[in-house]
Structure formats: structure tokens, C-alpha cells
């Protein structure tokens, strides 16, 4: 789901549009769409991990 969200974000889609296109594939909410807040959190966490990996020490 993260890779698809990143791909859609590169196409400059809004968080709401990205959330509408994504589908949760596992867990209790399987088959539902994530909220825009969840999409934002995923992208922010990914950005934080990517920055931590590339940051000089």
C-alpha cells in the first residue's frame, strides 16, 4: 500500500484522492479504504525513515 501511495503522491494527487484509490488488504478493515490521515501518516513515517537512513552521522 505504501508503494502505491508514494507512486500516486509523485503524480501530485491529493491525500483524499490517494485514500480513495488505496484498499486495505489485511486485518480487520480488509477491503476498506484508509482515511486521508492514515495516508498522511504513512507518507510522513516513510519520509522520516528515509531521512534517517540518508543522514550523515
pLDDT band at 57 (very low <50, low <70, confident <90, very high): low
Q: What is the mean pLDDT of residues 42-55?
A: 76
Check whether 11 has a pLDDT greater than 70: yes
The pTM of the full predicted model, rounded to 2 decimals, is: 0.77
pLDDT surpasses 80 at 3? yes
Mean pLDDT of 41-46: 93
Q: What is the mean pLDDT of residues 14-29?
A: 95
Contact assessment for residue 5 and residue 42, using Cβ atoms and an 8 Å cutoff: yes
- Secondary structure (DSSP) of 1-57: -HHHHHHHHHTT--HHHHHHH----SSTTTTSPPPHHHHHHHHHHHHHHHHHHHS--
Amino acid at each position: 500500500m505504501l508503494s502505491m501511495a508514494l507512486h500516486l503522491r509523485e503524480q501530485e494527487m491529493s491525500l483524499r484522492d490517494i485514500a480513495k484509490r488505496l484498499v486495505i488488504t489485511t486485518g480487520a478493515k480488509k477491503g476498506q479504504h484508509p482515511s486521508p490521515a492514515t495516508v498522511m501518516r504513512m507518507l510522513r513515517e516513510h519520509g522520516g525513515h528515509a531521512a534517517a537512513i540518508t543522514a550523515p552521522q
